[in-house]
Amino acid sequence: MSQNSTAADRPGIVTLTTDFGVQDGYVGAMKGVVLEIAGSVTVVDITHEIPPQDVEAGAYIFHTAYPHFPDGTIHVVVVDPGVGRKRRGLVVETARYRFVGPDNGVFTPVFQAEADCRMVSLENPEWMRKDVSATFHGRDVFAPAAGYLCQGVEIEAFGPFVTDPVMLDVWAVREEADRLTGRIVHVDRFGNGISNLSEEQVEAAVEGRVVEIGGQIFHRIHRTYGDVVQGEPLLLYGSQGTLEISVNGGSAAEEMGVQRGDEVRLIGKDR
């Protein structure tokens, strides 16, 4: 890792992604712990509004943000319904980043996207707060690990290497003879329903393809919201490069009832 030389060039960055909300003191406590250990590091909020204990949503939202950060960034993700029980903690290292969080699948998209992942089970109490609580490992285990990583501690110091992290199996696309079946994997603030069907998958289908969502058939895929009149639904490729259903100037969630988990069927054979 070139982290030490990076750290010489500029202060480290630690991002936080949690389901803690911001109405309590939990996020502030985590920031304090990171800064107390790591000194002049920059702590950046990705979001703290992951729906409580929703590991799948956390994984999805995190993966839309983390790849944009500079090399050397340390990403902490805490969506942790199993806190205090036997689930492991992880410290993961890839070519560009380190990641810290519970081993519950929240890093699934990282493991799918990053070629070289090394990871350890976060076990060494030397790098935890004394008196680790049974309910707040964000403050007592994961924030300290991020702080010590900033300080130059290598991942092997945190525990033994492991190769069997928990993987979520929720973003797979089902392939059948004449169709691909994906689903809505996220509904964003604007009510856009974001699917897991990539532009490549959709564009590889034959010309006569149609897309079916909630019983409604779409023949065209537009470029942007304004390509249809105000209030009309449309399909487009969103900022993640996947098929989205939107309403121009409105909300597909409110007006069409689009929800996470809804099936999205692409009907038409591959070229």
Q: With binding defined as CB under 8 A, does residue 103 bind its own copies? A: no
Binds its own copies by CB under 8 A, chosen from 114, 123, 154, 188: 188
Under the criterion CB under 8 A, does residue 67 sit at the interface with its own copies?
Answer: yes
Total number of residues that touch its own copies (CB under 8 A): 72
Structure tokens at 66: 């983390």
Beta-strand pair 174-176/193-198: unpaired
Beta bridge partners of 210: 267
Distance (Å, rounded) from C-alpha 127 to C-alpha 37? 10
- Of these, 1, 14, 66, 205, which contacts its own copies (CB under 8 A)? 66
Q: Name which of residues 30 to 59 contact its own copies (CB under 8 A).
A: 30-33, 35-36, 39-40, 42-50, 52-53
Q: Which residues 160-179 are close enough to bind its own copies by CB under 8 A? A: none
For residue 24, the minimal CB distance to its own copies (Å) is 5
Smallest separation (angstroms) from its own copies to the CB of 64: 3
Q: Which of 130, 125, 119 is closest to 160 using CA atoms?
A: 119
By CB under 8 A, the residues from 210 to 249 that bind its own copies are 223-226, 236-239, 241, 244, 249
The answer to whether the beta carbons of residues 128 and 141 sit under 8 Å apart is yes
Q: Is 226 or 257 the residue whose CB approaches its own copies more closely?
A: 226
Shorter beta-carbon distance to its own copies: residue 121 or 248: 248
Q: Do residues 264 and 175 make contact, with C-beta atoms less than 8 angstroms apart?
A: no
Q: Tokens 């030490």 correspond to what residue?
A: 4
Interaction between residue 198 and its own copies (CB under 8 A): no
Sheet with 118-121, edge to edge strand ranges: 42-47, 13-18, 74-78, 98-102, 89-93, 118-121
**Site membership for its own copies, residue 260 (CB under 8 A):** no
Work out how close the CB of 207 gets to its own copies at its nearest, in angstroms, rounded to a whole number: 22
71 contacts 1 by C-beta, under 8 angstroms: no
> Under DSSP, is residue 232 helix (H, G, I), strand (E, B) or coil?
coil
Residue 41, classified by CB atoms within 10 Å of its CB into exposed (0-12), middle (13-18) or buried (19+), is buried
Residues between 8 and 27 with contacts to its own copies, criterion CB under 8 A: 9-11, 13, 15, 17, 20-27
User: Between 61 and 149, whose beta carbon lies closer to its own copies?
Assistant: 61
What is the footprint of its own copies within residues 110-139 (CB under 8 A)? 133-136, 139
